[in-house]
Amino acid sequence: MAVRDELGRAKSRSTKFRVQNTSSMGWRSTSKHWWLWMQVVVVLVVLASEFGVHGQDLGTWEILLANAGIASMHAAVTNYGTVVLLDRTNIGASQIALPNGTCRDSNDLVLPHDCTAHSVLFDPSTNTVRPLTILSDTWCSSGQFMPDGTLMQTGGDFEGIRKVRTFVPCPATGNCDWVESTTQQLQQPRWYATNQLLPDGRQIIIGGRAVFNIEYIPPSANGPLYFDFLNATNDGQNDNLYPFVHLLPDGNLYIFANRDSIVYNYVTNTVVKTFPRIPGEPRNYPSAGSSVMLPLLASNQFSVVEVLICGGAQYGAFLEPWTRKPCSITCERIVVTDPNPIWVEEQMPIRRCMGDMILLPNTDVLIINGASIGSQGWGFADDPVLNPVRYMPYGSPDARFTTLTPSTIPRMYHSTANLLPDGRVMCAGSNSHQFYTFTGDYPTELRIDAFSPPYLSASVAPIKPTISVYPLQVTYGTPFTVTVSTPSALTTVIELNLMSAPFNTHSYAQGQRLVNLNVGGSVQVAAASVYQITATAPPTPQIAPPGYYMMFAVNQRVPSVAVWIRVTS
Ligand SMILES: *[C@@H]1O[C@H](CO)[C@@H](O)[C@H](O)[C@H]1NC(C)=O
Ligand SMILES: *[C@@H]1O[C@H](CO)[C@@H](O)[C@H](O)[C@H]1NC(C)=O
């Protein structure tokens, strides 16, 4: 009942917003079917009171900070658990001053003398932000962590379009800040590119608007390298931007742009596999779908790779936004490693574009944020989708989606979502306007909030594991032990999952992956429920490129708080 109340309240607050409730499940209460409708209501009320346990089991929302100072467009979680948020310059004054009273004098289009910050560091342990110093335009840039935990951030607009910026994380109380290189720059001007960390520790940077090529950081002597796939997938709306890139366990890259995808061997610069065209809408920027590589599983020795792509905008939604085209309702899933792969279609409970797809530590996928009409672009979307949806990849096909508790904050264009080490998903930003605009239907959003998925509910506390002893660093393929305790005795083997911290921008989390570890079993080491678990580090840097990962212990689909662990050769 509490669930229905919560939905009802959210709906009455803002009837414009898309809140999934019982009346939008496809049933029509025509007089002919009133009796059927009544039966459905009775069943749903019973189900809600049975399983919608006091609003908890469908997740909860909390506002973390009323004003972050900037509207987050790009976000990444560092290995100190802090979150780097970025907006852009050429947007006017933000609502937070640059550190130490500094100002920036430049050719900024809006504010040549700007004393405000366009990046902040959020600390989830205190729910506070600290301004960071970034002086060039990061609009539509890209990024990725390097193996030593440094956030590398590239490109943007105007004077930032060839910039290489680094942020070396520090403890939350520290003073670490951005460094914008004055000596190194990109080989090509880039915005809307995708970065991916490679097994050898380099980053590959793929594409961008009107740049159908690839380059590396550190740069390769023969770059940039022309990449015909990007030319071939370009169309009248440039639907090949922010390509979806997944590093495969064989070391090749799965790359998806517009509606096509390939496996690319970057070592030999050859396309080694071509997939059938995806059904339905274009899925990349500006058509606003999202993608994850499903968890790499120890149970199949990381030999099966599946890619999931959900949502998108109809072709033309970007060129003719006044047509208000409904967003995609489909997810498409493909087994990349199959000899003859095909797309398998599933229907989401709610249409969505600009959704963020976030891997959860228990191997579920959360689809969060976005809209159900339009596409990416300033003012091009409407009907924000407030309900996150959970997709359980290994559930029975007719029961994989669950519609979860709605937020109260629309998060559409230029918003972010990131998994925090405690298992919450932090959401920030949303700016449907070119500049900071606090009027109209969708004012620029400065609030930060977080969604606690059902696995954080108090009802699962008796089985929630806690990691107490663990190594700070592990070497490929070598065994290590972890001590885990649970409030009640274990009934199944605890799993260990490593999760990268991706760079999230424009509805796609660059470099996101979950690597499930081989676990040898648990040995009880104390009278209480304390267990020592023997695990094997990921076998190769192709399966888990070197760097910092959040390691979660998972007991019956309930994750611990993560610890940071460095994977290295
Ligand atoms: C601001 O001042 C602190 C303390 O003196 C210093 O550590 C930090 O580097 C300064 N930051 C900038 C951006 O000048
Ligand atoms: C890009 O594709 C177009 C056709 O769509 C073709 O005419 C052109 O030659 C291609 N560019 C390059 C550099 O191959």
Tens digit of pLDDT for each residue in 328-338?
999 999 999 99
128 C-beta neighbours (distance < 10 Å), count: 14
For residues 425 and 441, what is the distance between their CA atoms, to the nearest angstrom? 25
Q: Extract long-range pairs of 27-35: CB within 8 Å, 24+ residues apart.
A: none
Collapsed DSSP state (helix, strand, coil) of residue 41: helix
For residues 442 and 433, what is the distance between their CA atoms, to the nearest angstrom? 9
Residue 355, pLDDT above cutoff 80: yes
Residue nearest to atom 14 of ligand 2 (CA): 228
| Contact in structure between 386 and 408 (CB atoms under 8 Å) | yes
Residue nearest to atom 5 of ligand 1 (CA): 100
| Ligand 1 mean position, distance from CA 133 (Å) | 10
Segments of 155-302 assigned E as strands: 163-167, 178-185, 194-197, 203-206, 213-217, 225-226, 244-247, 253-257, 260-265, 270-274, 290-293
Residue 4, pLDDT above cutoff 90: no
Rounded to two decimals, the pTM is 0.91
Kindly state if the Cβ of 231 falls inside 6 Å of ligand 2. yes
Token pair in block for residue 375: 């596409």
User: What's CA 240's distance to the chain center, in Å?
Assistant: 19
For 467-490, the pLDDT digits (tens) are 999 999 999 999 999 999 999 888
Residue nearest to atom 1 of ligand 1 (CA): 100
Give the percent of the chain with pLDDT over 70.
Answer: 90
| Ligand 1 mean position, distance from CA 89 (Å) | 21
Average pLDDT estimate for 557-569: 98
Q: Which ligand is nearest to the CA of 130?
A: 1
Structure confidence at residue 18 (pLDDT): 53
Average pLDDT estimate for 136-156: 98
Task: Report which of 323, 319, 315 is spatially closest to residue 282, judged by C-alpha positions.
Answer: 315
Mean pLDDT of the chain: 91
Q: Which ligand is nearest to the CA of 132?
A: 1
Which ligand 1 atom is the nearest neighbour of the CA of 98?
13
| Ligand 2 mean position, distance from CA 211 (Å) | 12
For 55-83, the pLDDT digits (tens) are 449 999 999 999 999 999 999 999 999 99
Residue 48, pLDDT above cutoff 60: no
Average pLDDT estimate for 151-164: 97
Q: pLDDT confidence of 46, banded at 50, 70, 90?
A: very low
Structure confidence at residue 8 (pLDDT): 27
Which ligand 2 atom is the nearest neighbour of the CA of 234?
5
Structure confidence at residue 12 (pLDDT): 32
| Ligand 2 mean position, distance from CA 377 (Å) | 27
- Best residue among 231, 234, 239, 258 to mutate for probing ligand 2's pocket (most ligand atoms within 8 Å of CB) is 231
Which ligand 2 atom is the nearest neighbour of the CA of 226?
13
302 C-beta neighbours (distance < 10 Å), count: 23
Residue nearest to atom 1 of ligand 2 (CA): 231
Token pair in block for residue 427: 């959401």
Task: Report which of 137, 132, 120, 117 is spatially closest to residue 75, judged by C-alpha positions.
Answer: 120
| Ligand 1 mean position, distance from CA 132 (Å) | 10
Q: For the chain, give the number of residues.
A: 569
For residues 121 and 114, what is the distance between their CA atoms, to the nearest angstrom? 19
Q: Which ligand is nearest to the CA of 98?
A: 1
Residue 25, pLDDT above cutoff 90: no
Q: pLDDT confidence of 30, banded at 50, 70, 90?
A: very low
Structure confidence at residue 525 (pLDDT): 85
For residues 13 and 332, what is the distance between their CA atoms, to the nearest angstrom? 34
Structure confidence at residue 524 (pLDDT): 86
Structure confidence at residue 19 (pLDDT): 55
| Ligand 2 mean position, distance from CA 231 (Å) | 6
- Best residue among 100, 115, 133 to mutate for probing ligand 1's pocket (most ligand atoms within 8 Å of CB) is 100
Instruction: Please spell the DSSP secondary structure of 301-330, one letter per residue.
Output: TT---EEEEE----TTTTT-GGG-PBPP-E
Segments of 445-517 assigned E as strands: 448-452, 466-469, 473-475, 479-485, 495-499, 503-505, 508-510, 514-516
Structure confidence at residue 255 (pLDDT): 99
**Interaxial angle between packed helices 2-13 and 34-51, expressed in degrees from 0 to 180 and rounded to the nearest 10:** 110
| Ligand 2 mean position, distance from CA 242 (Å) | 20
Q: Extract long-range pairs of 200-205: CB within 8 Å, 24+ residues apart.
A: 200/541, 201/146, 201/147, 201/545, 201/546, 203/144, 203/146, 203/152, 204/245, 204/253, 204/266, 205/142, 205/154, 205/155
What radius of gyration, in Å, describes the C-alpha atoms of the chain?
23
| Ligand 1 mean position, distance from CA 102 (Å) | 10
| Contact in structure between 281 and 312 (CB atoms under 8 Å) | yes
Strand 151-154 relative to strand 163-167: parallel, antiparallel, unpaired?
A: antiparallel
Residue nearest to atom 8 of ligand 1 (CA): 175
For residues 510 and 502, what is the distance between their CA atoms, to the nearest angstrom? 5
Q: pLDDT confidence of 20, banded at 50, 70, 90?
A: low
| Ligand 1 mean position, distance from CA 75 (Å) | 23
- Best residue among 103, 116, 175, 176 to mutate for probing ligand 1's pocket (most ligand atoms within 8 Å of CB) is 175
Average pLDDT estimate for 30-44: 45
| Ligand 1 mean position, distance from CA 176 (Å) | 9
Average pLDDT estimate for 336-360: 98
Average pLDDT estimate for 98-108: 95
